[in-house]
Amino acid sequence: MTNSAAPTLLSEAGVARLRRSAPALVLLLVLAVASLISGSTGGLRLASPDRSRVDQLRRAIGELPSGALVLIAFDADLGTYAEVRPTTRAAIADLAAHGARLAIVSFTPEGRAIAAAELGRIARAGGEEPPADLGFVAGSEAGLVRSIESIVPSAAEGDLADAIRQRGGGIGAFDMVLIVSGSDMSARSWVEQVGTRLPELPMVAIAPTFLDPELEPYLRSGQLTALLATLREGVAYAEAVSAGSAAGSGPVVGPLPMLVGMLAALAVMAEAAFRRLGRRRRRPAGRSAARRSPS
């Protein structure tokens, strides 16, 4: 009797393991199919049909003089950088294709971590002149204000650092600033702290969607020359750069896998919330039963 029951128990355990792993396997299969479909068909498109903001940024970059100095303020945060990563990389590729000389600085710790990763990626990819690393400036907005006068670290070396110093050594030495915004330091800080002191300095911004309402007034007033602050605008811009430049930012993730991934993340979050709610509801009943049992 024991021998005949053992295979059944093993079979049930195997079925239980398969059931637990089934959601992950199904998700992988769906993502694989979505990637194949999005790569071979037009299908779902995330790119915005309104290209006005894309054209504004491309025009601002296209009007830069040859060899222009462009400062990239990397202050995105880890929670939202995934949304703007393709847009940011496309902008870096766009600037490089137009012959701009780039320098990268950060005023937030999270921004510095992201900037260091991007600098490593650019170094691995190779190129004629990698961006100058101006490092991390402490003090948030206070550090930003100090950098108006001096932004180049004393230990910085190289032709780019020397070129910035020859132009005064501060933010005013640049022909344009590209602001990669996050929750702690956005383009709003740049407009209010730098734009009021250097009104002739063109500033363009890339921001996650939640910052769009905050930054749109600065775009309408002309204090921001260009702004990309929605996922659809970012996708449209990345597609435009990839189509118009041999030095594009690389393959753009298809919209269908991105949509499936977002839905899967929401499903996982909802499942976890329901599980926590279920555990909270069961705990009081178990405790009350334990209290009644001795009597």
Summarize the confidence of residues 106-129 as an average pLDDT.
Answer: 93
pLDDT single digits (tens) 216-267: 999 999 999 999 999 999 999 999 998 876 444 444 455 555 555 666 666 6
pLDDT recorded at residue 268: 63
CA distance 227 to 212: 9
Per-residue tokens: 116: 């260091």
User: Using an 8 Å Cβ cutoff, are 234 and 206 in contact?
Assistant: yes
CA distance 94 to 203: 16
Residue 193 DSSP code: I
Tell me, what amino acid is at 91? A
Is residue 129's pLDDT more than 60?
yes
Segment among 56-60, 97-101, 268-272 with least mean pLDDT: 268-272
pLDDT recorded at residue 37: 56
Summarize the confidence of residues 146-155 as an average pLDDT.
Answer: 96
CATH of domain 67-244: 3.40.50
| Residue boundaries of the structural domains of the chain | 67-244
Bigger pLDDT: 271 or 177?
177
pLDDT recorded at residue 43: 45
Closest CA to 92 of 243, 238, 252, 254: 238
Q: Which residues of 274-291 are buried (b: 16+ CB within 10 A; e: fewer)?
A: eeeeeeeeeeeeeeeeee
Segment among 45-59, 140-154, 183-197, 272-286 with least mean pLDDT: 272-286
H/E element holding 133?
Answer: strand 132-136
For the chain, give the number of residues: 295
User: Using an 8 Å Cβ cutoff, are 59 and 237 in contact?
Assistant: no
pLDDT single digits (tens) 172-224: 999 999 999 999 999 999 999 999 999 999 999 999 999 999 999 999 999 99
pLDDT recorded at residue 127: 74
- Across the beta sheet with 101-106, what order do the strands follow? 132-136, 101-106, 69-74, 176-180, 203-206, 226-228
pLDDT single digits (tens) 25-40: 666 666 666 555 554 4
Tell me, what amino acid is at 166? Q
Bigger pLDDT: 270 or 247?
270
CA distance 58 to 237: 8
pLDDT single digits (tens) 70-89: 999 999 999 999 999 999 99
pLDDT recorded at residue 245: 62
H/E element holding 69?
Answer: strand 69-74
Q: What is the CA radius of gyration of the chain?
A: 26
Residue 265 CA to chain centroid, in angstroms?
17
pLDDT recorded at residue 47: 79
User: Using an 8 Å Cβ cutoff, are 171 and 151 in contact?
Assistant: yes
Instruction: Tell me how crowded residue 147 is: count the other CB atoms within 10 A of its CB.
Output: 22
Q: What is the dihedral of CA 55, 58, 60, 61, to 10 degrees?
A: 180
| Percent of the chain residues topping a pLDDT of 90 | 63
Summarize the confidence of residues 144-165 as an average pLDDT.
Answer: 95
Bigger pLDDT: 185 or 293?
185
Instruction: Tally the C-alpha atoms within 13 A of residue 5's C-alpha that lie toward its C-beta.
Output: 2
Q: Which residues of 169-203 are buried (b: 16+ CB within 10 A; e: fewer)?
A: ebbebbbbbbbbbbbbbbbbbbbebbbeebeebbb
pLDDT recorded at residue 203: 98
Share the mean pLDDT of the chain.
83
Is residue 90's pLDDT more than 80?
yes
Tell me, what amino acid is at 282? R
Is residue 44's pLDDT more than 70?
no
